[in-house]
Structure 1
Amino acid sequence: MEEKGYKELPSSRQPGDGGAEFLLVKGDERCLLGYKHGTAYRLGEANVRDFANAVQLQGATSGMLVTLGSAEGFARDLARRYGVDLTDGRSLWPQVEPFAAPQMVLAIREQAASEIRKGQRLGIFASVVLGLLVFAAGYAMQPGEPDAMVGTPASTPENTSPAATAAGTEGPANEAAGETSAASAGEPEAPVSRFTDQASRDAEGALRELEEVARLTEQQRIERRLAAAAEVGELDAAEHANWSTQSTLVIRMSRADGIDTGLVNEACAVLVQYEELRYTRLQLEPPAGTAGQVRWRQCQ
């Protein structure tokens, strides 16, 4: 956005539902930029309406709503009606690619190519399986013929060769040896990074963690969220913590100066251990019975 002449107003960054909002200026123009985290995020009509209201509340003359995920068709129609510029992951990448490290761009392209090849292999495999099923169905519908091999003994002691006997004797021993060898191999080694600079290594590690999160079941995700909230609730400056939305963790402070004692840093240190909770919005409520105000913070 700075390349386009925009500047961020000091202290304008505010946590949003599942992302963040920035107030930008360009001459006399005030633009509200809303960003939604995560490739799984889907912008709907409700997101557009809420953002259009935020544009008016901020006194902005225009608004841009950006996400790494996708936008629904009705959301795009509503955005055009409100004059909101909608950008999804497909159109966002060409704008941010020039600012990424070359090693990171190369890794992303290689991963994309790998996903394409994987899809092609699955397509070929599915075609082969379908062909075999059709062939088997056609063969099963043909009239049956007498089996020429009926009456021939399948196996007799005389027909058993010494090689077959040796193979049958050595089979269990070979299997046991294989199991022993596999057990002695130990734990798999950690993947070696192809990058030398720390920034690209960090990005590669974050990408790997996101891939692991994507493989979790819904129940596992819920358990991780509950575990994170329980750990935050056990902090000295917190009385308890619970989730009000998918992206907002409500923390009841145990004392009025909880924010000053580092509660935000301690809570975020817990949440960043879970990659899907890294950008959680914190709703910090004053101790029960006090007249303090609710404050908002966001982990980065």
Structure 2
Amino acid sequence: MTPFLIALFVFALAGLGLTLWLRSKPAGPVSAGQAAERSAAQLSKLRWRDFAKLVLQAMHKRGYKPAGEDGLPADGIPTDGSDIVLERNGERALLSCKYGSASVVGAQALLGLAKSATLRGTQHVIVVTPGRFDEEATRIAQQQNIELIDGQSLWPEVRPYIANPDAADTAPAAPAPKALALAWAGAAVLGALAWMIVQGLQAPAEDDMPPPAPVVAHAPQTTPSQEQKAATNDAPVPTDPAALEKRRQEAANAISTLFGVSRALWSTQSTLLVYLSSEEADPTTDLCPLLERYPELAASRVQLQPPADSKKPVRFKQCRTY
């Protein structure tokens, strides 16, 4: 697997892991407003009949009960979703459950309720919704003496009759966009670190290197010039470590300028690591004369490292035997 694919895998795995962690992280303290909004949202997920049953239970707590009109089911809830007549201490009230896809109930839903209440012999109108009422609906309700109960006001009354009421108060909040952005930025950093580590491991350690390949007897080599031979034969090998290191660096720098060579460096005292810029490059012909200029480096092992995305194996050369 190439370093890029490994880095991409680390980035995706870290990003998804951090996202899941943020989503599963328990939410902080919930304010009263947030709890009311979540409770109203929970009520809006109920079916109309289930919602009406909860409202009747809340009305029963207030002392109301269905008036027992003809044709009603045993639970007192009309099958057609019409308004319900309630009775308390001889006083009758008309209960209207405004339950639908709209979360805001407008004034249009209240029109005609006062007349309907009069026709059915009720003195009071109660309108209940899991959502909320707009300003115009509130104004008309005040004029016609209609009691409005929205989702936030209804929740405390129906909460005792819900199987798991704490779910609305403790549901984990979705992670903030800023937190998600920071999580994926951290994943990108981890991916970059993985790429650099894999790149650093491209050059094998000295102990893990395969034995050097045998030297090809007829490998093409360039015969050094007379000046190079004279310099090699006449100049003594220095004994100063600094001078030897300087000669090693000069050889590596010269080889780095060859065609097909990306860079050259000494991985060990006796191994020159040459990074090739293409799969077809073979700088051995020009490389060996540059090493043979230095007697102490002429027999060094040369490791030809193919490009990172290449499938060709590492090759080893040796310009001169000991």
Q: Compare relative contact order (CA 8 Å, sep 6+) and give the higher one, 1 or 2.
A: 2
Q: TM-score range by the shorter chain?
A: 0.3 to 0.5
Structure with greater Cα Rg: 2
